[in-house]
Amino acid sequence: MTDDPAGAVGYPAGRARLAGKVAVVTGGGSRAEGYGTGRAAAVLFARNGARVLVVDRDRAAAEQTVALIEDDGGIAEAHVADITVADSCQEMAEHAVRTWGRLDILDNNVGVEGAGTILEADWQQWDEVMTVNVKTIALASAAALPYLSRDGGAIVNISSISAFRPRGLTPYSTAKGAVIALTRAMAVDHAGSRVRVNCIAPGPIYTPMVYAAGMSPEVRERRRRASPLGIEGTAWDVAHAAVFLCSDEARYITGVVLPVDGGVSLRSPER
């Protein structure tokens, strides 16, 4: 499989930080060859000892992720679901519990972009962006919570630095802002059940979501230079953050928004 060069180097098998845990990863396939944030998270969860239910609406994409995990010596199973539908989310959670007897982690990775101002936005697209980016998190989390709350657990939601640094994608920025608000509300609502809910806000990450439609070398280089660190972010960077937030090392962390952006959000955009 084609992989991002930065993601292929320096990531040995984990230290079983998630040993004995069961993880559900939505959006665990990939839109094109390579590693999106869902696929990378699923692979790293498995490397760190978790059994992983790889959820995607595209069975072939989910099975490709499972094959990568199994080739790496991990345990995973593919599951097809439309997580815009409550019943489908319920079946997803129940499938994980039926298969492995428990559920400890939910990693919400599904998302779509939406461009334009509110004067330019297509309202049908607006509804789709809100449904895919926000409602799916609520539905998947509602289905998983009764199982997560048995022994405590962790939910990780994927937002974006676009939530606090808009860049001409108003529907997307609005939805990702809602993900942050939802994360914080859920963190308070379910802390009594020892369920931790955190959020990752990626910056310019080189994934199939951004390069599948074509990206010139010039645009890719400009994205790299946007980081004060001067390096390109990949799905692996987001996945490593997810592993930490779902591990016992983060047992005292909930309701946080963790930028994974190389420092992009720390400085003003280029004019």
Residue 163: is its pLDDT beyond 80? yes
Mean pLDDT in residue range 102-108: 97
Q: Is the pLDDT of residue 6 over 80?
A: no
Query: Residues 35, 172, 206, 211: which is the catalytic one?
Result: 172
pLDDT at position 269: 60
Selected residue with higher pLDDT from 121 and 124: 124
- Contact 16/47 with Cβ under 8 angstroms? no
CA 47 to chain centre: 17
- By CB neighbour count within 10 A (0-12 exposed, 13-18 middle, 19+ buried), where does 157 fall? buried
Q: What percent of the chain has pLDDT over 90?
A: 72
Q: Tell me what the mean pLDDT of segment 28-35 comes to.
A: 85
pLDDT for the residue numbered 5? 46
- What pLDDT is recorded for position 231? 87
pLDDT at 146: 95
Examine the residue annotation and report whether 252 is marked as an active-site residue of this protein.
no
pLDDT value, residue 1:
58
177-230 pLDDT, tens digit each: 999 999 999 999 999 999 999 999 999 888 767 766 777 777 777 778 788 898
Q: Do 265 and 164 contact (CB within 8 A), yes or no?
A: yes
**Which of 210 and 70 is assigned the larger pLDDT?**
70
Cα separation, 144 vs 153, in Å, equals 10
Residue 13 has pLDDT above 90, yes or no: no
Lowest model confidence (mean pLDDT) among 35-49, 157-171, 198-212, 255-269: 198-212
Query: Domains (ranges, CATH) in the chain?
Result: 17-260 (3.40.50.720)
